[in-house]
Amino acid sequence: MAPILSIRDLRKTYDDGFQALKGVTLDIEHGEILALLGPNGAGKTTLISTICGITTPSGGTVTVDGNDIVTDFRAARALIGLVPQEVALEPFEKVLNTVRFSRGLFGRPRDDARIESILRKLSLWDKRNSATKALSGGMKRRVLIAKALAHDPRILFLDEPTAGVDVELRKDMWNIVAELKADGVTIILTTHYIEEAEAIADRIGVITNGELLLVEDKDTLMARLGKKRIEVQLAEPVDAVPTALAAHDLTLANGGDTLVYTYDIHGERTGITQLLNDVAGAGLTLRDVETRQSSLEDIFVDLVQEERA
């Protein structure tokens, strides 16, 4: 089956010369959930905005179910729903009317039953007659999703759906995404949070500086990302890793006064207890123990280096 979304060498250079996208190529399959991970300014929102028609591409092509987003923009856009990063709603309008408006804007005839089912699914039906300004932040985000779904899109873009929302709402959002996937909607979401990608995505793309570094199956990537480091500082430096500790695959750092141990946080056993016992057994005195998980930025840097190696 041909991909539902096909991006080829997509480029975007803004008027001030800033290159936000430097030739992104990506295929997205029907019904999958793709999470785009990347730091601020990586180009995630520009990528989404360009596909959706908010930003004009400087080069490359995008087709949505075979329809070019420029030459056949009506057919392409009709298939797409967008939930923007910022909460932007007409403040004085009722929830029901604002969702109806979205359906009409996409050229779909009025269908009250369909709108009711969307609002019910998003727990908004009770609030249908409230002005959007009276809603909580979480409810406003739900309204944005309802608006994006009002015309029954086959692809849904969620631009940082959980940025700045509390844990409970984040979980709610993940459940909504899972239900949409069950309905056969293809979902592309951007996020800063590895755990979010881990919780809901099928595939993960890593984007930084306008380039897509890699797109991988979630399980493969999480195995690479889910590493943590423990740094054991010794009272006295050593010349080499003592043979009694050889089984732990340690490296020496800081001129021999730090032993570095890397472990998998997803593993059943981390091996930390055994390591500390063996360090004591080898007659070494500890000065400090520090654990450190790579930040997303570190992971990106590692990934870039690995990719280029």
Partner 1 sequence: MNWTAIAAIYRFEMARFFRTLLQSFLSPVLSTSLYFVVFGAAIGSRIDQVEGISYGAFIVPGLVMLAVITQSISNGSFGIYFPKFIGTIYELLSAPINFLEIVLGYVGAAATKALFIGVVILLTSTLFVDLSIAHPLAMVAFLVLTCISFALLGFIIGIWAGNFEQLQLVPLLIVTPLVFLGGSFYSILMLPPIWQKITLLNPVVYLISGFRWSFFGTADLPVGYSLLAIAAFTCLCLGVIWWIFRTGWRIRS
Residues lying near partner 1 in the complex (CB under 8 A) are found at: 14-15, 52-56, 73-78, 80, 82, 84, 86, 88-93, 97, 100-109, 147
Look at residues 279, 291, 293 and name the one whose alpha carbon lies nearest to residue 231: 291
Looking at the Cβ atoms of 101 and 174, the one nearer to partner 1 is 101
Least distance to partner 1, CB of residue 2, Å = 21
Question: CB neighbours of 272 closer than 8 A, spacing ≥ 6?
Answer: 230, 261, 263
Least distance to partner 1, CB of residue 109, Å = 6
Q: Alpha carbon of 221 to those of 37, 198, 229, 300: distances in Å?
A: 12, 9, 18, 12
Looking at the Cβ atoms of 74 and 308, the one nearer to partner 1 is 74
Looking at the Cβ atoms of 40 and 56, the one nearer to partner 1 is 56
d(CA 74, CA 67): 9
Looking at the Cβ atoms of 77 and 141, the one nearer to partner 1 is 77
Least distance to partner 1, CB of residue 213, Å = 25
| Four-residue CA torsion sign, 1, 11, 151, 174 | positive
Q: What are residue 28's phi and psi, to 5 degrees?
A: -120, 130
Question: CB neighbours of 168 closer than 8 A, spacing ≥ 6?
Answer: none
d(CA 71, CA 61): 10
Looking at the Cβ atoms of 93 and 198, the one nearer to partner 1 is 93
d(CA 252, CA 274): 18
Looking at the Cβ atoms of 133 and 292, the one nearer to partner 1 is 133
DSSP tag of 131: B
d(CA 297, CA 39): 7
Looking at the Cβ atoms of 79 and 232, the one nearer to partner 1 is 79
d(CA 143, CA 135): 9
Least distance to partner 1, CB of residue 102, Å = 6
d(CA 294, CA 223): 13
Least distance to partner 1, CB of residue 103, Å = 8
Least distance to partner 1, CB of residue 125, Å = 20
- Residue linked to tokens 């944005």: 144
Least distance to partner 1, CB of residue 25, Å = 22
d(CA 47, CA 297): 20
Q: Say if CB 98 and CB 44 are below 8 A apart.
A: no
Looking at the Cβ atoms of 75 and 289, the one nearer to partner 1 is 75
Least distance to partner 1, CB of residue 7, Å = 16
* Strand 5-13 relative to strand 19-28, pairing: antiparallel
* Strand 211-217 relative to strand 203-208, pairing: antiparallel
